[in-house]
C-alpha cells in the first residue's frame, strides 16, 4: 500500500528532474560564449530552470527573481585600476590644462608627473582628493555630461579599446538569459552610482533605477542638484547588503561578483531559506584579459576562493569557462 501511495510522488519527481535536465539542455544555446563543458554554465542553467519551473520545489515567483551583479571585474574589466579612477585622472588633466597653476598642489602635482604610480604613492589621501576634485562641486547634470563625453571617446591605457568595449560578452549573455527568464537584474557596485548610470543602460540594458553604487551627498539648490564633497555611502563589502536593503528593499536570490568586496553580498544572499545562488568570477585569463586573485592590488579574492566550495558558490574560471572574453561591440 505504501508503494502505491509513493509511486505518484516518485513519478512526479522523476518527471520533474527530466524536465529540468531537458530544459537545461535546451538552454545551452543561450549562453553561447560559455563552454558547454563548464560546471559553472551547467550550474547557472540548472538554477534558472529550477526557479522558473512552477512544478519545482525550488520555484520562485517572478517578482522575487532578483539578481545583483557587481560591476568592476564582474561585468567589465578593472585593470590596471578601476576605470572610474582613470576617468578622474583624465578629468584632472583637463583641469590642469585650463589652469596650469594647479600643478603646484596635490592631486594635480601627481597628475602632472604623468604616471599612475605617483598617484598610488600619494596613498588614500591623494586618491580621495582626486575623486573629490573631479566628482563634486558641480550639478548632477554637469557631472553626467562629463562622464558621457569621456566614455564616448576615452581609451584604455593598455588595450587601446573604448571602456565600453571591455565588458564581458559571457556576462552580457547571462544578463539577457536572466531577463528572458523574468529576472529583474541590478548592478550593485562599489563604483559611483552616478558614474555608472550614464552608460549602463546602453551597454548592459540596465536602467538607472536598477543601479546601486557608492554615493555622495546631494543638495537641492535653486532647482538644481549639487554634488557635495561628502561621501554618504560606500557600496563595498558590508556596504553592499546595506545598499541593496536601502534601494531594492528585498533580498535578491542571486548574487554575482569577483572579489572579497562581494563576499558580504554573496553571504547575505545565499544565507536565506529557499533557493539562492552565489557566483564568483575568477580572473584566470592572462592572455585575453588579466590573471589575478590573492595578491592583487585590485579585485583581491582570498576568502571567496577559500570558502566558495563549502558555501556552494560557483567559481567561474574565465580562461576555461569562457570562449570569448570581451564583447565585440
Q: List residues binding a copy of itself (CB under 8 A).
A: 63, 140, 184, 193-194, 197, 207-209, 211, 215, 218-221, 223, 225, 232, 238-239, 241-242, 245-250, 264, 267-268, 271
Q: Strand locations in 105-241, DSSP E?
A: 184-192, 211-221, 224-233
**Secondary structure of residue 188 in the 3-state scheme:** strand
CA distance 313 to 277: 7
The CB-of-228 to a copy of itself minimum distance in angstroms stands at: 10
Closer residue to a copy of itself, CB minimum distance, 170 or 239: 239
Closer residue to a copy of itself, CB minimum distance, 8 or 223: 223
Strand partners, 34: 322
Q: Cβ distance 175 to 205 under 8 Å?
A: yes
Closer residue to a copy of itself, CB minimum distance, 241 or 299: 241
The CB-of-194 to a copy of itself minimum distance in angstroms stands at: 8
The CB-of-299 to a copy of itself minimum distance in angstroms stands at: 21
The CB-of-163 to a copy of itself minimum distance in angstroms stands at: 20
**Residue 322 host element (H or E):** none
The CB-of-4 to a copy of itself minimum distance in angstroms stands at: 42
Closer residue to a copy of itself, CB minimum distance, 17 or 245: 245
C-alpha cell belonging to residue 188: 550593485
| Vertex 257: Cα angle to 133 and 20 (nearest 5) | 150
Closer residue to a copy of itself, CB minimum distance, 43 or 264: 264
Nearest to 127 by CA among 76, 84, 95: 84
Amino acid at each position: 500500500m505504501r508503494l502505491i501511495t509513493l509511486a505518484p510522488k516518485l513519478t512526479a519527481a522523476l518527471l520533474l528532474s527530466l524536465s529540468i535536465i531537458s530544459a537545461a539542455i535546451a538552454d545551452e544555446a543561450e549562453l553561447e560564449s560559455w563552454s558547454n563543458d563548464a560546471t559553472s554554465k551547467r550550474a547557472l542553467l540548472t538554477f534558472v530552470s529550477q526557479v522558473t519551473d512552477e512544478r519545482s520545489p525550488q520555484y520562485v515567483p517572478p517578482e522575487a527573481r532578483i539578481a545583483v551583479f557587481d560591476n568592476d571585474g564582474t561585468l567589465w574589466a578593472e585593470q590596471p585600476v578601476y576605470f572610474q579612477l582613470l576617468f578622474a585622472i583624465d578629468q584632472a588633466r583637463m583641469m590642469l590644462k585650463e589652469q596650469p597653476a594647479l600643478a603646484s598642489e596635490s592631486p594635480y602635482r601627481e597628475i602632472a608627473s604623468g604616471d599612475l604610480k605617483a598617484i598610488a604613492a600619494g596613498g588614500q589621501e591623494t586618491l580621495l582628493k582626486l575623486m573629490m576634485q573631479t566628482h563634486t562641486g558641480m550639478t548632477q547634470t554637469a557631472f553626467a555630461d562629463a562622464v558621457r563625453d569621456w566614455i564616448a571617446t576615452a581609451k584604455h591605457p593598455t588595450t587601446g579599446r573604448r571602456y565600453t568595449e571591455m565588458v564581458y560578452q559571457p556576462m552580457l549573455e547571462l544578463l539577457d538569459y536572466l531577463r528572458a527568464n523574468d529576472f529583474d537584474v541590478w548592478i550593485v557596485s562599489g563604483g559611483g552610482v552616478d558614474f555608472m548610470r550614464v552608460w549602463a543602460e546602453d551597454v548592459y540594458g540596465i536602467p538607472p533605477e536598477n543601479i546601486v553604487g557608492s554615493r555622495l551627498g546631494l543638495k537641492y539648490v535653486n532647482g538644481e542638484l549639487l554634488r557635495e564633497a561628502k561621501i554618504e555611502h560606500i557600496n563595498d563589502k558590508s556596504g553592499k547588503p546595506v545598499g541593496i536593503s536601502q534601494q531594492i528593499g528585498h533580498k535578491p536570490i542571486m548574487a554575482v561578483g569577483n572579489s572579497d568586496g562581494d563576499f558580504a553580498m554573496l553571504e547575505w544572499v545565499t544565507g536565506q531559506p529557499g533557493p539562492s545562488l552565489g557566483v564568483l568570477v575568477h580572473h584566470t585569463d592572462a592572455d585575453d584579459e588579466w590573471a589575478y586573485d590573492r595578491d592583487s592590488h585590485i579585485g583581491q579574492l582570498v576568502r571567496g576562493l577559500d570558502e566558495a566550495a563549502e558555501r556552494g558558490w560557483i567559481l567561474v574560471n574565465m580562461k576555461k569557462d569562457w570562449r570569448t572574453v570581451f564583447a565585440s561591440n
